Amino acid sequence: MTLVTEKKAPARAPYPLRTEALRGFAPWAGLAVLLTLGAPLCGKADQWQGDWAETAGQVHTAMLITLPLAAAAGCWQGGRERRRRTEELWGTTVRSPLTRLLVAALPVALWAAVGYLVVVAAALLASWPYVQGDRPHLVLVPGDTVAMAAGALAGHVVGRVVPTRLAAPLLAVAGYVGLGIVTADGSDALRALSPTTESPGGGLPVWWQPWAMAVWTGGLAVAAALAYAARRRATALVPLAAALAAGALLAQTGNGLWHTDPLARRQVCDTSVSPAICVNARYAGMLPQVRDALSGITDKLDGVRNLPVRWADRGSAPRAGEAQLPGITPLGWSTVRGRLTDPAQYAWEAVAALQGYDCPDTSTTDRVLTADDAVENYLAPSPVQKAIDGYDARGDKARRTALRERVAARARLAGMAERERRDWLSAYFAARGDCRAKEVPAL
Amino acid sequence: MTTTRGPLLYARSRALPLTLAALAATAAFAVWAAGRLDAYLDPDRRVPIVALAPLLASAVIGTSLYSASDELDRTAVRPWWPRRLAQLAGLAALAALLVTPAVLGHTENFGPPAVIRNTLGCTGVTAAAAVLLGARLSWLPAFVYVTGVYLGSTTAHGRAATVWAWPMQPGSQPGAWVTALTAFAAGAALYAVRGARPEGPRG
């Protein structure tokens, strides 16, 4: 009896694309994108965590540095065969020039896009626990991802064509400066063509903008690759035509690419108190906190007449009869990660908004200032009030006299009977609301 | 027939004529860009120049640290460190001198001191990268760091920020100067002692 042992078939060498993608420079390019984008985002996490729109805006505008970086990484990879002096050797292989180019270029493009997507996903996850309303803004992500891959591919072609060591850093800095100039002071049409562009007022793009942008950037890069390496160079005209069509569409539409988020115009209100408290619907979850912060004021104003109807937060100027709610945005100052950082300061700002701050200067007489100070101290004193008073107490005679008068006025307002104070406050808000300085009641 | 002396041969082997031309082009570009920024309205508008011109200059210096004959160099009898140090320090000084005209005036915030500091700091980082990564890719760490700080440090304040966000600080911040000079000293010392990482035709 004989034992027959079959020889194992020799393992097939993995496809070159797999080797190129897992080894060498490509994963490092992805890591560089990850770090370049991730580190600045971590540095200013206070300004975007807890706001879907701001999170999306930050990762999108950071394309300003990641796109040139992807192009530079592609350019570096493109110069590889020249550095290794293997160009002639490659010329003897049976693979077509286009296949060889794509096998070397696609892994960097892929990793650059993956690095970008990982940061986007991490940013969304980091924002999620703190959001107060709204929904994730993912509409720009496809266009941005394609732009990253296209930047790496176009950079690769540049690296093949330009035989100098400086090509990659030059491309990086030139790309950075070019995108910066277009974003900062380009014309509307030019700005619409830049992959880093964003809405002037934080609006949303029309639904086809990311796809047109993807065709514009991707088409140009594919056209460059085909023109450089395809057997029939005329095939480059197809993606070029598509890119130009998409580019023309973007440039023609210009500012029409963006529209205001309808949610940003809506408000969520608590009308159980007077004045009513409204926060923007994008931060609906902030309403209980804002109500708590302002509860001291609304309790004390119970029964007072002539007040503004509500504190409004429309993202534009308040209407007649409304007061502006102190800003929740921009994040990072009064609000960080879905929390009011300083409720006392917020309450003081809310009182200041009730006092008709947009009156002309002629209406701010000493009498008005004294009354304003007394009302602020009664409703919600500023956290730095003691420091200001201490500063005045150490000042010259005029300042000390003014301080004494202010303290006396505060004491008179606080010492009034409940009803008397309600009437005084009603008269005060009536006069302040109409900017009639002379009718502000004396203290 | 004339014989070419050592320093001249060294300069030629490091492609110094091309490097000098690239530095001059960088300076010209910086002056042109500064003219477009209307910086007389607000000196803070110079921040892109103050951050990016030194970055570009350091990339030029970094790629000039490449030696095409590394193995041959190592057989030399003479010590290399004086030449390396002279090359790096000379190029850094020249680059600092060349990028300064783009941002004259406003010395207290974004003027000549800030751009000189950034040139030294970026050159130090690039020189250290040349030792660790190789001269040809030496521009990458400084590029990643400076552009990252440029985007990320807009609201960074406090003493720690003057250290880590040194490329974006006004010229009079001592913390930023200390960091940049430390980076330059460390990078220059590392490069003088070790030289750029041998790369050969691979890489």
Convert the pLDDT of each residue in A95-106 to its tens digit: 899 999 999 999
Interface contact flag, A44 B149, Cβ < 8 Å: no
List for chain B the helix, strand, coil content (%; round to 5). 70, 0, 30
DSSP assignment, residue A42? H
Instruction: Measure the CA–CA gap between B103 and A353, rounded to whole angstroms.
Output: 43
Estimate the share of chain A in helix, then strand, then coil, as percent rounded to the nearest 5: 65, 5, 30
Residue type, A379: L
Helix or strand run (H / E) with residue A339: strand A339-340
Distance CA A184, CA B36 (A): 12
Could you tell me if residue B202 is inside a domain? no
A47 in B contact zone (CB under 8 Å): yes
B77–chain A nearest CA distance, Å: 29
- Residue B2 in any domain: the answer is no
The radius of gyration of chain B from alpha carbons, rounded to an integer in Å, stands at 17
Q: What is the rounded distance in angstroms from the CA atom of residue B110 to the CA atom of residue B103? A: 7
Cβ <8 Å between A173 and B153: no
Count CB neighbours of A385 within 10 A.
15
Give pLDDT, residue A112: 96
Domain of B111 in residue numbering reads as 8-194
pLDDT for A333-351, tens place per residue? Answer: 889 998 999 999 999 999 9
Q: Quick: pLDDT tens for A211-226.
A: 999 999 999 999 999 9
Tell if the CB–CB gap between A64 and B151 is shorter than 8 Å.
Answer: yes
Identify which of A177, A45, A361 has the alpha carbon closest to the alpha carbon of residue B32.
Answer: A177
d(CA B172, CA B110): 9
The answer to the question of residue B107 being in a domain is: yes
Considering only CB atoms, which chain B residues are within 8 Å of A166? 22, 59-60, 63
Identify all chain B residues contacting A163, using CB atoms and an 8 Å cutoff.
Answer: none
Residue A79 — pLDDT band, cuts 50, 70, 90? very high
pLDDT single digits (tens) A290-308 = 999 999 999 999 989 889 9
Query: Considering chain A, what percentage of its residues have pLDDT values greater than 70?
Result: 96
Closest approach of chain A CAs to the CA of B185, in angstroms?
23
Answer whether A40 sits within 8 Å of B149, measured CB to CB: yes
pLDDT given for residue A4 in this prediction = 59
Q: A342-394 pLDDT, tens per residue?
A: 999 999 999 988 887 677 777 678 888 889 999 999 999 888 888 988 998 89
Over the range A205-222, which residues count as b (16 or more CB within 10 Å of their CB) and which as e? beeebbebbbbbbbbbbb
Query: pLDDT tens across A102-141, in order?
Result: 999 999 999 999 999 999 999 999 999 999 988 899 999 9
Question: What is the structure's pLDDT at A116?
Answer: 97
> How many Cβ atoms are within 10 Å of A27's Cβ, its own excluded?
17
DSSP assignment of A209-272 equals: HHHHHHHHHHHHHHHHHHHHH-SSGGGGHHHHHHHHHHHHHHHHHGGGGEE--GGGG-EEEETT
Tokens of A167: 């090509």
Q: How far is A373 from chain B (nearest CA, A)?
A: 32
Residue at B99 is within a domain: yes
For A235-277, how does the pLDDT look when each residue is reduced to its tens digit (9 = 90+)? Answer: 999 999 999 999 999 999 988 888 888 888 899 999 999 899 9
Whether A172 has its CB under 8 Å from any CB of chain B: the answer is yes
In whole angstroms, what is the distance from residue B143 CA to residue B59 CA?
Answer: 8
Residue A1 in this model has a pLDDT that exceeds 60: no
R_g of chain A, CA atoms, integer Å: 31
The Cα–Cα gap between B128 and B196 comes to 9
What span, in angstroms and rounded, lies between the C-alpha atoms of A194 and B135? Answer: 32
Count: domains in chain B: 1
Residues 6+ apart with CB under 8 A from A217: A143, A146, A147, A150, A151, A195, A243
What whole-number distance in Å separates Cα of residue A126 and Cα of residue A119? 10
In a domain, B75, yes or no: yes
Using 70 as the pLDDT threshold, list the residues of chain B that sit under it: 1-4, 38-41, 154-157, 200-203
CA distance linking residue B140 with residue A233, whole number of Å = 33
SS3 at position A418:
helix
- In Å, what is the CA distance from A158 to each residue of A77, A79, A144, B98? 10, 9, 21, 28
Q: How far apart are CA B66 and CA A166, in angstroms?
A: 12
Whether A32 and B140 lie within 8 Å, measured CB to CB: yes
CB A328 within 8 A of CB A279: yes
Give the predicted TM-score (pTM) of the model.
0.85
The confidence score (pLDDT) of residue B148 equals: 84
The answer to whether A59 contacts chain B (CB < 8 Å) is no
What ranges do the domains of chain A cover? Answer: 16-257, 266-354, 356-443
Residues in contact with A355: Cβ distance below 8 Å, sequence separation at least 6, in sequence order: A372, A375, A376, A432
What pLDDT sits at residue A355? 84
CB B125 within 8 A of CB B59: no
Mean pLDDT of A34-42: 90
Average pLDDT, chain A: 89
For residues A3-31, average pLDDT? 81
Nearest CA in chain B to A85: B201
Q: How many CB atoms neighbour CB A405 within 10 A? A: 14
